């Protein structure tokens, strides 16, 4: 009787091993997109600065550089989100990734979601800032509508994060920390 049980367990382990391989495709694709966006951002930064040098003293150059810098920040945030997805999937499905900063240790899927949601909120703020800086023509109602849409998404993300933390799915303390209730406070 023990033989079929072992056989079932072995096939289950093989199936899980196969799913780990599938996740590696996601890890690799997220990492490659992240790498390409970081390289693209670096090349674009050098190009924009190089092209701005001949017109450096002109009034519009500083605004153009500011817009380019904000767009570069947006690009870096997306690249960082993809890198975090790659590292998070690797940690969750394949094995622990070594030499990561403490803030990037991902122990649960909820950890990964929280980190990504934080980046999404910042990326939305940067995108709104970019649109607002470039805004010259058009009705003020259009920019207000866009801003309210961005704010609504940020509010929804904040509410989701708050609820997730309240349900205990995302502990905010370190593993050795006692909660205020456990410490008697």
**84-128: pLDDT as tens digits:** 999 999 988 888 788 888 888 888 888 888 888 888 898 899 889
Average pLDDT for residues 124-150, to the nearest whole number?
85
User: Which residue has better confidence, 92 or 15?
Assistant: 92
Q: Is residue 61 part of a domain?
A: yes
Nearest to 81 by CA among 110, 108, 114, 107: 114
**Count of domains in the chain?**
1
Does residue 3 sit within a domain? no
Q: What is the pLDDT of residue 184?
A: 41
**pTM for this predicted structure:** 0.70
| 83 falls within a domain | yes
Query: Residue 160 pLDDT more than 70?
Result: yes
Q: What is the mean pLDDT of the chain?
A: 81
> For residue range 82-92, what is the model confidence (pLDDT) as tens digits?
999 999 999 88
Q: Measured in whole angstroms, how far is the alpha carbon of residue 22 from the centre of its chain?
A: 21
The confidence band for 64, taking pLDDT boundaries of 50, 70 and 90, is confident
Torsion angle of C-alpha atoms 103, 108, 113, 119, degrees rounded to 10? 10
Does 157 or 100 have the greater pLDDT score?
157
67, with CB counted inside 10 A (0-12, 13-18, 19+), is middle
pLDDT tens track for 29-59: 999 999 999 999 999 999 999 999 998 888 8
CA distance 144 to 142: 5
Residue 168 vs residues 8, 141, 179: alpha-carbon distances, Å = 34, 40, 12
Domain that holds residue 22: 16-166
């Amino acid at each position: 009787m023990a033989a079929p049980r072992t056989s079932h367990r072995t096939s289950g382990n093989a199936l899980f091993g196969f799913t780990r391989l599938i996740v590696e495709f996601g890890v690799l694709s997220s990492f490659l997109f992240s790498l390409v966006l970081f390289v693209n951002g670096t090349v674009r930064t050098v190009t924009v600065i190089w092209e701005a040098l001949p017109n450096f003293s002109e009034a519009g150059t500083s605004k153009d550089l500011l817009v380019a810098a904000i767009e570069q920040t947006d690009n870096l945030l997306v690249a960082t989100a993809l890198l975090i997805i790659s590292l998070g999937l690797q940690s969750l499905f394949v094995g622990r990734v070594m030499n990561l900063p403490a803030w990037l240790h991902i122990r649960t899927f909820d950890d990964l979601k929280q980190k990504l949601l934080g980046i999404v909120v910042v990326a939305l703020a940067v995108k709104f800032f970019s649109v607002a800086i470039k805004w010259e023509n058009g009705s003020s109602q259009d920019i207000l509508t866009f801003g309210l849409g961005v704010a609504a998404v940020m509010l929804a993300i904040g509410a989701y994060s708050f609820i997730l933390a309240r349900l205990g799915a995302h502990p905010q303390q370190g593993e050795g920390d006692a909660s205020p209730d456990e410490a008697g406070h």
